[in-house]
Structure 1
Amino acid sequence: MLLAYRNLLRAFRSAALVAAGGLGIATPLPAAPLPTTVIAALREANISLKNIGVYVQNVNAAQPLLDYRGRRPMDPASTMKLLTTAAALEQLGPDFTWKTEAYADGPIKNGVLQGNLYLKGYGDPLLTLERFWMLLRQLRQAGVRVIRGNLVLDKRYFHVPYRDPATFDDEPYKPYNAAPNALTVNFRVTEFRFLPEPARRTVRIVADPRPDGVRVINRLRLTHGACGAWRERLKQRVLPSRHGMTVLFDGRYAAACGEKSAYLRLYRNGGYVYSVFKQLWKTLGGVLNGALREGATPANATWLATANSPPLAVVERSLNKYSNNFMARQLFLTLGAETAGPPGLLENARQAVRRWLRRKGLHFPSLVMENGAGLSRTARITPQDLAAVLLAMHRSPFMPEYISTLPIAAVDGTMKKRLSGTPAASHAHIKTGTLDGVKAIAGYVRSRDGGTWSVAFLINDPHASAGAAAGDALLEWIYDYPPQRGDRTPRSRAREKLPGLGDYR
């Protein structure tokens, strides 16, 4: 009899929610406390309750189901990308594209460009090697084979003051520390592929693209056994010199690993683009006689070719699913340039986001955006405000495009290895964020009964790196809401102090 009553009550609640959803509201739900499974996971990770913030709300509800310290400004790490991509998607449109253009300032006679070649960038965050090669192929089709002059890079569409890439975390060669630039190819990274050759008892290393002046020293030792944590056994050092870069690889590499890759950002932007251009141009039968220069494209220059990016909706999918900091920073400056005019400035980008928030009726007084990517120690947003962005985008005409950019639990992106084998697998679209001392998740969960919930869970704690289990526990709890039979979680007010818990650290 009790089970029948519970099923009837659940059916009535779902029906009421659907009916109210047509009016844009939902039946009020009793507020919930911080789930005991989440508390247990935090205790196991030695993370203080004082250092977390949680906000959970049904997309059709007027009030949150769970608000635990949700009004506290916190470092969101890469979940800040949710705000950047939301504002850009609505202000630029899902079909917005970037372009990269090629111009000549001299005549072309018998395949010879008697002048300079200009490459003019507009901030394309996804100008990969393949697409750059296609641009060069267009130049060959336009009749250019030999370039007598220089290769001139026009990057004036952005204005970004130089900042030492080692400033953030003393890791200047990590790809995520690449600064934005109006003309960047292939994220400015070099891929190092490790190819085990058991017959020769060696590991071959292939660098692609390999900029001029890069020397690779291979001291890897091929071993047997499981692959395991192969990156922890791999030691790498970058040794700059006046003549280029030396990259040293040392350590043990198991044959069972098969082919793996590591990525490094070795050169500043101009030298990288120039080197890659020369290599690709040569494969197309082209010749470049001149050197690298930077400058403005002359007003009377002749257009030769254009490379267009995929549409913004597609670009944001790569950006959010794999939490690409470089792409987020490119998008942020693009937003500034497109809304206030070039050059793209950080302050103009911040103002564009705030104007979008005002149009949405959102007021975030504690919001601090440094670069739009969350790769920052000064960025701040509250869990409640982060959830408000999610709620606003769920009502947006571009809601399907936005949600499709987020990693799917146990399926792809940065959530591919999380919630695998649980009932919540594939039922959550979640953006993750990680920095030293920060662990964050934010996104949408589709619960067992068909409800859709926005969630923001931020951890700012010295032990935050161990906080993934707590985040997963929260997502599973939301998926199972309302509680199934046997769940004894009390339904006390979420904002009240949890009796008997306090702060256990």
Structure 2
Amino acid sequence: MAIRLLIFLLLCALPSRAQGFRTWVRGLEARGVTVSAGIWDVDTGRALERHDDGVSLVPASTTKVVTTYALLKTLKPDTTIETEVWGDLRDGVVQGDLVFKGDGDPLFTSERVWMLAQSLKKEGLRRVLGTVRLDQSAFDAQREPQGWENTSVDTLPVVRALSVDFNRDDRGRILEDPDRQAREIILRILRETGITVEGGAAGPEVPRKLATWTSPPLRALVQDINKWSNNFMIEMLTRRFGAGSWPRGVQRIQAFYQSAFNLGPEAIRITDGSGLSKENRLSARTLAIILRGAYHDFEVGPEFVSSLKIIGGEPWKLKIKDPNLTRRIRVKTGHLDRVTSLCGYLQTFDGKVRVFAILLNGPTRDEDVWEQVSRWAN
């Protein structure tokens, strides 16, 4: 008798859970919100619940899932980026200008300039007859990606091949002339290190590479990008992926998914790497395919999965007050005006891992996505 009662209760619970998902979708659509959402078993790929999961919507920062996995898989997690210093050094004196050549290191900060200056001092550099010059030739002249006409473009500084402190001032404000600040920071640190820069006219030079600064490995950069949703860093890496060109970088990302997942440009419709563009279009199904593929990718999957935000396990507040979600959710969030998105992995109480994606376009709030994620997890 007890077994029959248990079976009856289980059967009753199944449609109730499905009904909760349908009610959630209907409630959002009644408010004018377009929904693309679903949850899948990570092992089999079987859809457990979904609604318009093939409909492509504006994804906001969940675009970074697409970009960062493609970079990790193509370039490999140990890839680094070198910033070079060139000059005509003779007997401790650079005869002309000291040239800093950037190649797209997105984490070139004042602290790293200081360490690079120490390397120059160890090489015997004591005086520069000319001045400090920045070589930005690794990137083309395009100032912003396509599709930023209708978004918050003022949230991102100019992306240059050599950028210091994310091209922001010490108060976090975006700089109109980031090259000027970069030169000033480099000059100040050189002088503090004991290297005199006289600022004279540059004469004929026979430059050679004097020193290099190597960035942290790509796996560490991706951690910062996904956990903090750092738009500047991922756009810098996207440009570098395209040999200095945003369009080429985006095309390489799309070509990777066409080859690796058979996801064509109609599925990966992006114009940038960060998700700031409202011309980007992804579906819940596309995000789930990528997330599931990354989860089972022994080569780079662990680095990718660990780059996602761990709810309750790191210094980020829960968007919904549900202590049951602690360390059971790994996600990438996305926010733009009238866009709320969330995708990632969750673990059920019985230890099963699910992959999920929710894209909402319309008058939304964070609680709209966390309500359903909490229901799936609990």
TM value normalised by structure 1? 0.67
Q: CA RMSD in A?
A: 3.0
Equivalent pair of 1:116/1:152 in contact (CA under 8 Å): yes
The 8 Å contact of residues 319 and 328 in structure 1, kept in 2 or not, is answered as yes
Note the alpha carbon deviations across 1:285-340, whole angstroms, 9 max, x for none.
Answer: 222222899xxxx8x52111111111111110000000000111112122222xxx
Residue of 32, 50, 71 corresponding to 1:48: 32
Equivalent residue number for residue 266 of structure 1: 175
1:313-328 map, 5 Å: 313-328=219-234
Q: 2:261 aligns with which of 341, 347, 361?
A: 361
Query: How much has 1:82 moved relative to structure 2?
Result: 0.2
Equivalent positions of 1:376-395 (< 5 A) are 376-395=277-296
2:325 aligns to what SS in structure 1? coil
Letter of the aligned partner of 2:46 in structure 1? Q
The answer for the alignment partner of 2:189 in structure 1 is 280
Q: 1:292 to 1:420 in 2, by over 3 A?
A: farther
- 2:374 and 2:152 map into 1 onto residues whose CA distance is 36
For 1:330-409, list aligned pairs within 5 A. 330-337=236-243, 344-364=244-264, 365-397=266-298, 398-409=300-311
- Tell me which of 164, 169, 177 is aligned to 1:190: 169
Per the TM alignment, residue 131 of structure 1 is displaced from its structure 2 partner at its CA by 1.2
Which residue number in structure 2 is paired with residue 13 of structure 1?
A: none
Count the aligned residue pairs: 369
Matched, 1:71 2:54: yes
Per-residue Cα deviation, 1:448-485 (whole angstroms, up to 9, x for no partner): 11111111111111x22x2x1121112212212xxxxx
- 1:473-488 equivalences under 5 Å are 473-480=371-378
Residues 225 and 231 of structure 2 are in contact (CA less than 8 Å); yes or no, is this contact kept in structure 1?
yes
Q: Counterpart of 2:347?
A: 446
Listed as ranges, the matches of 1:64-463 within 5 Å are 64-104=47-87, 106-109=88-91, 111-163=92-144, 169=151, 172=154, 176-192=155-171, 263-290=172-199, 301-337=207-243, 344-364=244-264, 365-397=266-298, 398-412=300-314, 415-461=316-362, 463=363
Identity of aligned residues (%): 27
SS at match of 1:304: strand
Q: Structure 1: where are the runs of 5+ without partners?
A: 11-28, 193-262, 338-343, 481-505
> Could you tell me how far apart the structure 1 residues matched to 2:280 and 2:141 are?
18
Q: Does 1:471 align with 2:372?
A: no
1:190 counterpart SS class: coil
For residue 170 of structure 1, report the CA deviation from its aligned partner.
6.3
Change (3 A) 1:171 1:91: closer
SS of 1:102 mapped into structure 2? strand
Gaps of 5+ in 2: none
Residues 388-410 of structure 1, C-alpha deviation per residue, up to 9 Å, x if partnerless?
11011112122111110000113
Contact 1:82 1:431 in 2 (8 A): yes
Distance 1:381 1:160 in 2: 28
SS at match of 2:324: coil
Structure 1 residue 38 displacement after superposition? 3.8
Equivalent-residue separation in structure 2 for 1:387 and 1:133 (angstroms):
43
Whether the aligned pair in 2 keeps the contact of 1:54 and 1:458 (CA below 8 Å) is: yes
Tell me, in whole angstroms, the C-alpha distance in 2 between the residues paired with 1:368 and 1:3.
51
**Counterpart in 2 of 1:58?**
41
Q: Is the 8 A contact 2:295 2:301 kept in 1?
A: yes
Change (3 A) 1:101 1:452: same
Q: Confirm or deny: 8 A CA contact 2:320 2:370 kept in the other structure.
A: yes
Kept after mapping to 2: 8 A contact 1:96/1:311: yes
- 8 Å CA contact 1:102, 1:120 repeated in 2: yes
- Report the CA distance between 1:168 and its aligned residue: 5.3
AA at the equivalent of 2:369: G
Q: Is the contact between residue 59 and residue 391 of structure 1 (CA under 8 Å) also seen in structure 2? A: yes
- 2:84–2:100 CA contact under 8 A, matched in 1: yes
Shift of 1:191: 2.8
SS at match of 2:323: coil
Contact 2:58/2:278 (<8 A) preserved = yes
CA distance in 2, matches of 1:292, 1:390: 55
Q: Distance in 2 between matches of 1:90 and 1:434?
A: 26
Checking the alignment, whether the CA contact within 8 Å between 1:38 and 1:471 is kept in structure 2 is: no
3-state SS of paired residue (2:261): coil
Q: Give the partner amino acid of 1:303.
A: K
Note the C-alpha offset of 1:34: 5.5
**What TM-score results when the alignment is normalised by the length of structure 2?**
0.88
Asked whether the 8 Å contact 2:84–2:212 carries over to 1, the reply is yes
Residues 34 and 66, structure 1, Cα contact 8 Å, conserved in 2: no
> Aligned equivalents of 1:316 and 1:145: distance in 2?
37
| C-alpha separation in 2, matches of 1:6 and 1:282 | 78
Provide the C-alpha distance between the structure 1 equivalents of 2:140 and 2:175, rounded to a whole number of angstroms. Answer: 22
User: Which is richer in helix?
Assistant: 2
